[in-house]
């Protein structure tokens, strides 16, 4: 599979402002600065598509991108959704307050979401906030939805760090948007979850 084209659709600050339901969505979730914009740009091969939020936690909008996959002679239309990064503070108990209400409403009510891509900084693979987010998603997902963990910034790891992650998560997808390692494999994993 390949990404043939990708373009920005719109930004929304609430569920009401989102695009109509229909096209299958891949929702990207992660802490601020995890490398979310970078990986969306790497997946789509478009450098400036998703805008990096230089100020952690500043991006508060839900951004929609239309992505066209091709496999042999078939075309698949998917929506990538860049969700606001959650902050450095613990998310745990008060997640609904910490995370904007609109964001949780989107996550919980949006029918079109098929895959949640949970991005985790591979240098800090066992943060409580990521654990909490994963537990939160596991609890709310429907049978037709899936969660995919992707560990970002793998170029920063030593082999021993990789081993620790692989021990806890044997199928861990380790990806670097900087050197593009793991990008194709992760994109295939997303595609398989959508259409496999
Ligand atoms: P976002 O806030 O989650 O959208 O994160 P960004 O994509 O803006 O990335 C945050 C910072 O991490 C930026 O300084 C990026 O250059 C850096 N970054 C993103 N991906 C990688 C990566 O794969 N490797 C390295 N070394 N740095 C990365």
What is the radius of gyration, based on Cα positions, of the chain?
16
| Best mutation site among 36, 37, 38, 155 for ligand 1 pocket (most ligand atoms within 8 Å of CB) | 38
The fraction of the chain above a pLDDT of 70, given in percent, is: 89
Give the predicted TM-score (pTM) of the model: 0.93
194 and 115 in contact (C-beta within 8 Å)? Answer: yes
Q: How far is CA 67 from CA 75, 166, 170, 175, in A?
A: 10, 30, 29, 20
As for the ipTM of the complex, it is 0.99
What's the number of domains the chain is made of? 1
Give residue-wise pLDDT tens across range 53-93: 655 444 578 899 999 999 999 999 999 999 988 765 445 55
Give residue-wise pLDDT tens across range 111-164: 999 999 999 999 999 999 899 999 999 999 999 999 999 999 999 999 999 999
Q: Is the pLDDT of residue 45 over 70?
A: yes
* Block residue for tokens 């900087």: 178
Map residue 26 onto helix, strand or coil: strand
Annotate 44-109 with DSSP letters as a single string.
HT-TTSSPP-SSTT---SEEEEEEEEEETTEEEEEEEEEPPPB-SS--STTHHHHS-HHHHHHHHH
Q: Is the pLDDT of residue 98 over 70?
A: no
pLDDT at site 103: 80
| Best mutation site among 29, 30, 33 for ligand 1 pocket (most ligand atoms within 8 Å of CB) | 33
Residue 27: strand pairing partners = 81, 116
CA of 178 to the centre of ligand 1 (A): 8
Q: Could you tell me which residues come within 8 angstroms of residue 10 by beta carbon, excluding any fewer than 6 positions away? A: 17, 19, 63, 64
| Ligand 1 pocket at CB < 6 A | 30, 32-38, 52-53, 85, 152-153, 155-156, 176-178
Residue with CA nearest ligand 1 atom 28: 153
pLDDT at site 65: 97
pLDDT at site 101: 73
* Block residue for tokens 């002679």: 73
Look up the CATH number of the domain holding residue 25. Answer: 3.40.50.300
pLDDT at site 97: 59
Enclosing domain of residue 77: 2-195
């Amino acid at each position: 599979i390949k990404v043939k084209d990708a373009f920005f659709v719109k930004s929304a600050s609430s569920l009401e402002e989102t695009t109509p339901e229909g096209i299958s969505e891949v929702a990207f979730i992660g802490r601020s600065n995890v490398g979310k914009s970078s990986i969306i740009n790497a997946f789509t091969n478009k450098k400036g598509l998703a805008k990096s939020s230089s100020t952690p936690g500043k991006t508060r909008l839900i951004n929609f991108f239309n992505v066209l996959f091709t496999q042999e002679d078939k075309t698949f239309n998917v929506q990538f959704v860049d969700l606001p990064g959650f902050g450095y503070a613990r998310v745990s108990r008060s997640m609904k307050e910490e995370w904007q209400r609109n964001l949780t409403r989107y996550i919980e009510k949006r029918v079109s979401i098929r895959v949640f891509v949970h991005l985790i900084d591979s240098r800090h693979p066992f943060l409580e906030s990521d654990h909490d987010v994963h537990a939160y998603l596991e609890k709310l997902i429907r049978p037709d939805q899936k969660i995919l963990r992707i560990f970002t910034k793998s170029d920063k790891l030593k082999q021993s760090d990789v081993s620790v992650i692989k021990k806890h998560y044997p199928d861990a997808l380790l990806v670097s948007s900087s050197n593009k390692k793991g990008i194709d494999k992760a994109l295939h994993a997303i595609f398989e979850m959508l259409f496999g």
